[in-house]
Structure 1
C-alpha cells in the first residue's frame, strides 16, 4: 500500500516521478518554493488538522494548489501535504541555520529597534553578510552567535535535543514553540546532518536492527514504542517530548519503561542505534 505521507500526489495532480504508478489528472515537474513564515502546519487536506509542521526556510516542491492552499513535498524528508499558500515564498539557497533554541529577526542591526519575527532552532537562512554582531538576511538582522553555517553541522544529537528542554509538547509540532517526540528526534538528527523521517513509525524503520536485549544504552540511542520515540542521554537517562509532562524533559530510563508499560499506552519495541559518522560524537 502506498504511504500517502510520502507520495507526491494530491489526489488530482502528481509529480512526474509517479507516471505509471498513480491515476492522476495531470503530472507536473513541480515548482521549487520555501517556507517564508516562522512555522506552518502541513495538513493531509486543505484546512485539516496537521500531520506535521514545516519551519522557516524549509525547501518544498509545490505540486498542486486550490482554495488558498498548496500541496507540497518537503525536500528534507519527502513528507507531503497541504500548506497555506501564504506560507510559501520564492526559493533562496540557504547558507546558515539557527543553532539556538530560538532567536529574533530584527528590523535593523540593533536589538533596540524592534523585531519582525521569531525563528526556531533548525530554521534555515540565506545570510547576505555578517559583521561583529549580526547576520543580515533579506528578512532582517539576526544575532550572529545564533546562526551557524550549514557546512558545520552539530556533532551530538542528544545535545541538540537538550537545547529544547522545557519546550511545550505539541502533537505534530516541529519547532521551539511546540514539538512532539518524532519532531524532536528528527530535528536533533538533522542538525547533525543525519537524515531522519518525520514520524515515529517511519523512524523505527529507518535505522536498521534493534539492539540485542540487555544492551546498555549509549548517548544518542533511540527507544521506540508504538507511537513514541525517545533519545538516550546516557545509560540511565533519556530525553523526549512527551504527553506525560507535556514538555520536552529528561526521564529515568527504567522509570519511563515501567510507567509506559503500566499505562498500556504503547508496546516497547526496543532500542536502535543510528549511524553516526562523526568520530567526535560523545558517547558518555
Structure 2
C-alpha cells in the first residue's frame, strides 16, 4: 500500500520515505470491465487483487505497456496494462447492484454484448434511452444500476447474493473472488469503507468483541478472523464465506465450520462487530 519502487515514490510521501525522485500522480479510471492488479509487469505473474470498471487509479509510472500506481478505493499498489485505464473523466454516478450487467453496443437486448460489469463496478450515466442507460462504454439495462448514494443496509444480504460464486485468489468480481474481497464488496455496497486483505480488515473494520462461547451468540454481520481468512456470521448459527475448502462462496453451519478449521490447525483469532451503516 506504499507507492514506492526503484527509487521513485509518490509526491505525497516526500519527507516520509527515502527516494531519489518524487512524482505527482496522473489521475485515471479503470476503463476495462475488470483488470488484475499485479505485483510485476508480467501477464503470467501472480496478481494480488482485481480492479473494477470506474475505480479511480493514480498512475505514477510506466514500464512499456504497463502502468504502475495505486488504486484509490483501497490503496493497493501494483501494475496493470495501460490499455485498461483512461484519463479521469466525469465522476461516476451509478453502481452495478446486480451480480452482473451486460454492456451492449446499443439500446437493444438483441444486440451482442461487448462484455459485462460486475457487482460493485461504477459508471457514469450520460443519458437514458428507453429502459437503457448510456454509459461511456455502451448501454446497460438501467434497472441493473443504482445511484452511488443509494446504499445497501445489510452487508450479509449483499454477500448472500454471491453464494455459489467460485473462489479465486485475488479475484474481486462476481465471476470469482476470495474471502476478503467478499467482505470488501459487501461492506462497500453499504457505504462501509473496507481495506482489501483480511489482516487489514482485522485491524480496521468495526470493533473487536470477546469471542462468543456459543454459535447462537454471534450477531448477523459479525466478522470472524483466522490467520489469512475472514468470514461473516450469517445469523441463525451459520457462517458465510468464500473458502478454498469448497472453492466457492458457501453458507454452512457455524459450529461445523469452526470445528473443521480448528482441525486444520487454525484457531479463531478475532471477532469484530460492524457498526450499522
User: TM-score scaled by structure 2?
Assistant: 0.94
C-alpha distance in structure 2 between counterparts of 1:83 and 1:10, whole Å: 15
Aligned twin of 1:270: 270
Q: How many Å apart are 1:25 and its aligned residue?
A: 2.7
Is this contact kept in 1: 2:107–2:129, CA < 8 A? no
Q: Offset at 1:117?
A: 1.3
Equivalents in 1 of 2:9, 2:75: separation in Å? Answer: 14
Specify the alignment match of 1:280 in structure 2: none
Matched with 2:49 is: 52
Query: What is the deviation of 1:194?
Result: 0.2
SS of 1:210's partner is: strand
Instruction: Work out the CA distance in 2 between the residues paired with 1:260 and 1:77.
Output: 28
Partner residue in 1 for 2:85: 88
The unaligned stretches of length 5 or more in structure 2 are: none
Deviation for aligned residue 1:241: 0.6
Runs of 4+ in 1 over 3 A off after TM superposition: none
CA deviation profile, 1:118-137 (whole Å, cap 9, x unmatched): 11000000001124411111
2:120 maps to what in 1? 122
**Offset at residue 208 of structure 1 (A):** 5.1
Matches within 5 A, 1:73-152: 73-92=70-89, 93-152=91-150
SS of the residue corresponding to residue 51 of structure 1 reads: strand
Answer whether contact 2:208 2:271 (CA < 8 A) is retained: yes
Give the aligned CA root-mean-square deviation in angstroms: 1.3
- Alignment correspondent of 1:181: 179
> Among residues 17, 30, 40, which one is paired with 1:22 in the alignment?
17
5+ unaligned residues in a row in structure 1: which ranges? Answer: 1-5, 278-284
CA distance, structure 2, for counterparts of residue 11 and residue 84 of structure 1: 19
* Alpha-carbon displacement from aligned partner over 1:117-175 (angstroms, at most 9, x marks no partner): 11100000000112441111121110111000001111110111111111110001100
The CA distance in 1 between the partners of 2:5 and 2:252, in whole Å, is 40
The answer (yes or no) to whether the contact 2:10–2:60 under 8 Å persists in 1 is yes
Separation of aligned partners in 1, 2:155 and 2:31: 26
What is the CA-CA distance between 1:11 and the residue it aligns to? 2.8
Matched, 1:38 2:33: yes
Q: Kindly state the Cα deviation for residue 77 of structure 1 after the two structures are TM-superposed.
A: 1.2
Whether the 8 Å contact between 1:10 and 1:71 is mirrored in structure 2 is no
Determine if the alignment matches structure 1 residue 226 to structure 2 residue 227. Answer: yes
Q: Is the 8 A contact 2:222 2:233 kept in 1?
A: yes
Q: Which moved more, 1:68-77 or 1:187-196?
A: 68-77
Q: How many Å apart are 1:10 and its aligned residue?
A: 2.6
SS in 2 for 1:81: strand
> CA separation in 2, counterparts of 1:7 and 1:256?
35
Partner deviation per Cα, 1:188-210 (whole Å, 9 max, x = no partner):
00011100000000000002543
